[in-house]
Amino acid sequence: MSNPTAAMLVIGDEILSGRTRDSNTHFLAGQLTDAGIDMKEVRVVSDDAPAIIAAVQALSAAYTYVFTSGGIGPTHDDITADCVAAAFDTHIDVRDDARALLAAFYANTGRELNDARLRMARIPDGAALIENPVSVAPGFKIGNVHVMAGVPSVFCAMVASILPTLTGGAPLLSQSLRVVRGEGDIAAPLGAFAKRHPTLSVGCYPFQDNGIYGANVVVRGQDRAVLDSAMVDLSALFPA
Amino acid sequence: MSNPTAAMLVIGDEILSGRTRDSNTHFLAGQLTDAGIDMKEVRVVSDDAPAIIAAVQALSAAYTYVFTSGGIGPTHDDITADCVAAAFDTHIDVRDDARALLAAFYANTGRELNDARLRMARIPDGAALIENPVSVAPGFKIGNVHVMAGVPSVFCAMVASILPTLTGGAPLLSQSLRVVRGEGDIAAPLGAFAKRHPTLSVGCYPFQDNGIYGANVVVRGQDRAVLDSAMVDLSALFPA
């Protein structure tokens, strides 16, 4: 049986302009792989409502799970929540449960729960809140879309809180062999190897290290015995 | 007049599984911003022919320029060139000009130009080669799509060789102000500021530094005088 699939949608001009380097995708990719969920696609779009709505709809229709990052803060450029509501054709407004979380937090810190901060309590009808143990303002889940913050510490904490709610598959196991021969020299036997092991995915990632050409061959699959037996085959093919 | 637009397409299972962290997107984003080309979208897809073909066609139709990264090496999982040819419904085979480059290179290094390495000379009909000063095997340009290697040193070198061939717009200028107040406190005046300066894009990126809450306000635009005058307005709004 094949694993559930996933897509990541990163929202933010700052990524596309090169101002900020996205780190959430790489973090999520590793977490999903460990959970047996296959990340199939990533998109990055700008703070532009039609672009966000179209991407949410396309990814939500194509994959088991969608995860978004960015655009749920208090400022005018934070439009993700409204766009996700629009993508699901759902009403959105400040919701009492989210407002209560924020009210308690700001009362404790002596800061004002003003209109801007209240925007972070805008949650689409029917969505479930995603806990934010870092800075309280929640994410939410609607349909198969998980809407999370862009700030990496908050994103990671939110991922930790939703991971137990996801249905994973067999974790993708991975083994690799470092081969100190040019990628072009090993390509033909490696292609035949990949054909001999059709249930495994075989990747070849070249490196150059002080003038030495080589490649890391990475073999991935869900069945440990099949993977182990393939690695014996691979080692015989490319003895050290 | 608005700037030319661009999209990046990263191809590779190793990015989606979390094995490898993509750095090419961030590099290209900065280069394009400096050149006055607006990166509008990024996609990452797996080594899967239908996914690659669909993404190439969608991005090529939507943006002025498309740049791809990954999947043009000698091994069985390197299918980008064939997929791009399919996306343009164009014939592809080993081409004499690319073969000549590889033949000269491998003759010099004493390595064999075997069938696997010859795959790197597969170039769609009508495509122009993109120089690879690092490891010779060329990229190519067909239509508005620039097909480049995934290895970062090669990708960066290829970008350097194509940048002079692109028509840029007015470079996006950027200025920022560090405001040591919570993002929720500055959101309302910042929203009004953004409305007062409709030709500029105004982003707000919160930080937390030893318990101090603040935000970097980044203002971007193409006209230096307009940007300078807006920064005077912004500084008055949030005095140090």
Q: How many Cα atoms are found within 13 Å in the side-chain-facing hemisphere of A100?
A: 4
| Alpha-carbon span A220 to A225, nearest angstrom | 12
| Alpha-carbon span A124 to A130, nearest angstrom | 13
- Under DSSP, is residue A175 helix (H, G, I), strand (E, B) or coil? strand
The percent of residues in chain A predicted with pLDDT above 70, rounded, is 100
pLDDT band at residue A211 under the 50/70/90 scheme: confident
Under an 8 A CB cutoff, do B17 and A40 touch?
A: no
Beta-carbon contacts of B138 under 8 Å, excluding residues fewer than 6 positions away, are: B98, B101, B120, B123, B129, B130, B131, B132
| Alpha-carbon span A11 to A80, nearest angstrom | 8
Q: State chain A's mean pLDDT as an integer.
A: 94
Give the DSSP letter of residue A109. H
Chain B environment of A119 (Cβ under 8 Å): 187
Beta-carbon contacts of B68 under 8 Å, excluding residues fewer than 6 positions away, are: B8, B9, B10, B11, B56, B80, B84, B145, B146, B147, B148
Domains of chain A: 5-165 (3.40.980.10), 173-237 (3.30.70)
Instruction: Identify the pLDDT of residue A109.
Output: 84
| Alpha-carbon span A171 to A147, nearest angstrom | 24
pLDDT band at residue B109 under the 50/70/90 scheme: confident
ipTM over 0.90: yes
Q: CB-based contact (8 Å) between A99 and chain B?
A: no
Q: State chain B's mean pLDDT as an integer.
A: 94
- Which pLDDT tens digit goes with each residue over A56-104? 999 999 999 999 999 999 999 999 999 999 999 999 999 999 999 999 9
Q: Terminal CA-to-CA distance of chain A, rounded, Å? A: 35
With beta carbons less than 8 A apart as the criterion, state whether A217 and A183 touch.
no
Instruction: Identify the pLDDT of residue B30.
Output: 95
Quick check: A112 pLDDT over 70?
yes
- Residue B167 φ/ψ, nearest 5 degrees: -90, 110
Chain A environment of B20 (Cβ under 8 Å): 205
Under an 8 A CB cutoff, do B39 and A17 touch?
A: yes
Q: In what order do the strands lie in the sheet with B212-221?
A: B173-179, B212-221, B201-209
Write the single-letter amino acid at B174.
S
Residue in chain A closest to B31 (alpha carbons) equals A18
| Alpha-carbon span A142 to A80, nearest angstrom | 13
Q: How far is B133 from chain A (nearest CA, A)?
A: 15
CB atoms within 10 A of CB A192: 11
A174-178, B94-98, B192-196, B211-215 — which is least confidently predicted? Answer: B211-215
pLDDT band at residue B142 under the 50/70/90 scheme: very high
Q: CB-based contact (8 Å) between A172 and chain B?
A: yes
> A-contacting residues of B 126-145, CB under 8 Å?
none
- Which pLDDT tens digit goes with each residue over B65-86? 999 999 999 999 999 999 999 9
**Could you tell me where the beta strands, DSSP code E, fall in chain A?**
5-11, 38-45, 65-69, 92-94, 122-124, 128-130, 139-142, 145-148, 173-179, 201-209, 212-221
DSSP string, A69-94: ES--SSSTT--HHHHHHHHTT--EEE
Instruction: Identify the pLDDT of residue B240.
Output: 83
Average pLDDT over residues A149-178: 93
- Which pLDDT tens digit goes with each residue over A37-69? 999 999 999 999 999 999 999 999 999 999 999
pTM of the model as a whole = 0.93
Q: How far is B61 from chain A (nearest CA, A)?
A: 15
Instruction: Identify the pLDDT of residue A192.
Output: 96
Write the single-letter amino acid at A92.
I
pLDDT band at residue A1 under the 50/70/90 scheme: low
| Alpha-carbon span A220 to A216, nearest angstrom | 13
Instruction: Identify the pLDDT of residue A17.
Output: 93
pLDDT band at residue B110 under the 50/70/90 scheme: confident
The percent of residues in chain B predicted with pLDDT above 70, rounded, is 100
| Alpha-carbon span B230 to A210, nearest angstrom | 50
pLDDT band at residue B45 under the 50/70/90 scheme: very high
Average pLDDT over residues A226-233: 97
CB atoms within 10 A of CB A179: 23
* CA A108 centroid distance within chain: 33
Q: How many Cα atoms are found within 13 Å in the side-chain-facing hemisphere of A118?
A: 10
Instruction: Identify the pLDDT of residue B1.
Output: 58
Residues forming a β-bridge with A11: A45
Q: Which two tokens stand for residue B23?
A: 């750095």
Under an 8 A CB cutoff, do B190 and A75 touch?
A: yes
Using alpha carbons, list the distances in angstroms from residue A205 to A38, A215, B184: 20, 5, 45
Shortest CB distance from B75 goes to which of A10, A51, A190? A190
Average pLDDT over residues A113-140: 96
- Which pLDDT tens digit goes with each residue over B85-103? 999 999 999 999 999 999 9
Using alpha carbons, list the distances in angstroms from residue A230 to A199, A234, B231: 10, 6, 62
| Alpha-carbon span A32 to A45, nearest angstrom | 21
Average pLDDT over residues B175-199: 94
The H-or-E segment that residue A176 falls in is strand A173-179
Chain B environment of A216 (Cβ under 8 Å): none
